[in-house]
A = this chain, B = another copy of it.
Amino acid sequence: MTKVAIIGAAGYTGGELIRVIKDHPNISEFFAISESNGGKRISSVHEDVLDLDGKVFDDKFNPKNVDVVFLCGGHGDSNNLMKKHGLNINEVRIIDLSQDFRHKENSNGFIYGLSEVFRSEIITAKAVANPGCFATAIQLSLAPLAKLKKLNPDIHITAITGSTGAGQKPQATTHYSWRSNNISVYKPFEHQHLKEINETLSTLSNGDIGKMLFVPVRGPFTRGIISSIHLKIEDGLDFINSYYKEFYKGCKFVHVTDSEVHLKQVINTNNAVMSIRKHDEYVHITCCIDNLLKGASGQAVQNMNLMLGLEENAGLNLKSVYF
């Protein structure tokens, strides 16, 4: 049986990890590490986690006692957290949910953890840099075309994110009075996930890809990301559809469908759902994921399963909420 530690367990992604891991069939024990909450009951922060019998946050742990460590600190904190807790990727498997080791120039031995695309590398990885939420939806949408070397034209991306994407700390744009019934564009063409997306797709394409015109949008919902992507491509819909279905064959969490998709098909699950259409010379791909699961903590557990040789979906048969 596996033992894990979650560093930064009081935040959004840490909480999601606790929700998944506490009922994971292959995990016998977990440590929820939070410096600022050490000694407090987990249920005093994650108030829906009612069945842990008073289990508390710890402020430290012994890396020798665990098989996997999840890093859920803020962006830029991972190196410090590793030092502080004495973590070394040669001694314990690490899955980092921040962006700190996602880019090749500073990967430090971390493998980029887009599970379906880099499965073989992840299986043997000592450490994984878990992808960003926008990055996951966009990369899953485009990976098959990258493999086909069809990403040369400009790529037009609009993706809409819920409020949990902005993190736990209350701010003006997550104030209920502001966000309810509201919608807005932010960081157009300049979102920080573009870099990891570009690296993945260039790698798969074995060369440069077209310019990505990415418009991120804040939406009045809590969980999830929907991305709408179109670019010029000669091939017909039948070929593309078949290729996508073949590409994701055997992937339990990626569903290529012929119907229209909507966000609540995947909320509270590790699934991605995707539909493809053709309009004249443009292909159009719509993809939905839950940003906290497939876009963060769910994919992190999926990566852990791959690293440990467990069933890929162990602990991840999650009941969708749908409504």
Contact = CB atoms under 8 A, between A and B. Distances in A.
B20 A222 contact: no
B48 A222 contact: no
Given A171-B170, A215-B284, A322-B19, A48 B265 contact: yes
B228 A158 contact: yes
Given A163-B175, A228-B215, A280-B211, A184 B318 contact: no
A15 B322 contact: yes
B222 A184 contact: no
B160 A23 contact: no
Interface of A: 12, 15, 19-20, 23, 44, 46-51, 156, 158, 160, 162-164, 168, 170-172, 174-186, 188-190, 211, 213, 215, 217, 219-224, 226, 228, 230, 252, 255, 257, 259-269, 271, 273, 277, 279-280, 282, 284, 286, 292, 317-323
A219 B222 contact: no
Given A23-B317, A189-B277, A189-B279, 18 more contacts: A44-B259, A47-B259, A48-B266, A50-B257, A50-B265, A156-B230, A160-B217, A174-B176, A175-B175, A181-B181, A181-B263, A182-B262, A183-B221, A183-B263, A184-B260, A185-B260, A217-B226, A219-B219
| Main secondary structure on A side of the interface with B | loop
A177 B267 CA distance: 14
Contact of A176 (B48, B163, B186): B163
A219 B183 contact: yes
